[in-house]
Amino acid sequence: MITAMDARATLLETPALTLELLRCRVGRDPSPPSHTAKRQVVFPLVGTFRWHVGSEMSLLDPNHVMFVETDEESWDTHSTPTDLTLLIATVAAPTAHRLWRSPRPFRERVARISPRLQTQQMWLASAIRPGAPAVWEERVLDLLAAATAEAGEPPLPPSSRAAAALARRAKELFADRGELIALAELAELLDVSPAHLTDSFRRAEGVPIVRYQIQLRLARALRELPTANDLAALAVGLGFASHSHFSTAFRAHTGLTPSQYRAAARRGDGIERIRKRALAASG
């Protein structure tokens, strides 16, 4: 895990688990190898980094969740100096046994997170409040169980190493640019044909390139909405053509309007309850 100079905030601490928010600035140098004595589930909120376990390397960004096993050596590398923010759940052994019920439950060590769970984890990072630890613990455990279930779903059809490597290079360009990159421009930057890039990315990630980039953009919206006062300015800053375009994409992604999500995060309301109420009102 990240071991650079960092700022850690403990959001929740109970006998069952600890939830922390880690913010750090990392350079090009690899992090020192590290171990953890307890299982962790890590949700990247900001930034992109490479996670190494043995000979395996995975690229992590806010569209992913990672599962850290006990007593294994891992380290991180970074293509450019970058800011990272991670939501880290460290689970006590008895809770891990009840939650996963096997010695090594993490068949997929890195998984692409669904829009629904991306919304839930971003909301937790901003909405969690002191007090009522049992309520917040239940919500965190629900998130961990759902993320594990998604990672345990049947994997995508096997993709070639070349396709996975090309998709990884494309994702690193998303991180460097911080904006939507057109397919033709992206293919030119990677020196491949648009058709080859489209096919390789879909085989490696299971979704089209544009949808993947939009999910990254909306992940940023989920981070910034709780403190945003001007939604139109936020929409433009995120690269959407208009406030209406942003609202439509956000609602399709989360089931809520931007203002509904912002209000829920500011009050600490349960996101699922707000979503169900919004769906009932629209029906």
- Residue 145 CA, chain-centre distance (Å), reads 15
Instruction: Tell me what pLDDT residue 135 has.
Output: 85
Output the CA torsion sign for 175, 261, 272, 248: negative
Q: What's the rounded Cα separation, in Å, for the pair 140 and 130?
A: 14
Hey, do 6-151 and 161-282 end up sharing a CATH topology, with the first three levels equal? no
Q: Beta 39-46 vs 17-26: how paired, if at all?
A: unpaired
H or E stretch including 66? strand 64-68
Q: What's the rounded Cα separation, in Å, for the pair 134 and 141?
A: 10
Whether 223 shows a pLDDT value over 80: the answer reads: yes
CATH assignment of 6-151, among 3.30.70.20, 2.50.20.10, 2.60.120.10, 3.40.50.1000:
2.60.120.10
Pick the residue with more confidence: 14 or 276?
A: 14
Using the structure block, give the residue that is written with the tokens 């700022």.
Answer: 7
Q: What's the rounded Cα separation, in Å, for the pair 60 and 43?
A: 9
CATH class in words for 161-282: mainly alpha
Q: What's the rounded Cα separation, in Å, for the pair 244 and 47?
A: 27
Instruction: Tell me what pLDDT residue 248 has.
Output: 93
Q: What's the rounded Cα separation, in Å, for the pair 117 and 155?
A: 18
**Confidence band, pLDDT 50/70/90 cuts, at residue 2:** very low
Instruction: Tell me what pLDDT residue 159 has.
Output: 65
Nearest alpha-carbon partner for 168 in 56, 75, 41: 56
Cα of first residue to Cα of last residue in the chain, in angstroms, is 45
For 195-219, what is the mean pLDDT? Answer: 90
Residues 6+ apart with CB under 8 A from 225: 234, 258, 261, 262, 265
Q: What's the rounded Cα separation, in Å, for the pair 250 and 240?
A: 11
pTM strictly above 0.85? no
Query: What are 71-125's pLDDT values in tens digits?
Result: 888 889 887 888 899 999 999 988 888 777 655 555 668 888 899 899 999 988 8
> Half-sphere exposure of 240 toward its Cβ, with a 13 Å CA cutoff?
22
Sorted by where each begins, the domain ranges of the chain are 6-151, 161-282
Q: What's the rounded Cα separation, in Å, for the pair 247 and 259?
A: 9
Q: What's the rounded Cα separation, in Å, for the pair 51 and 55?
A: 11
For 187-211, what is the mean pLDDT? Answer: 90
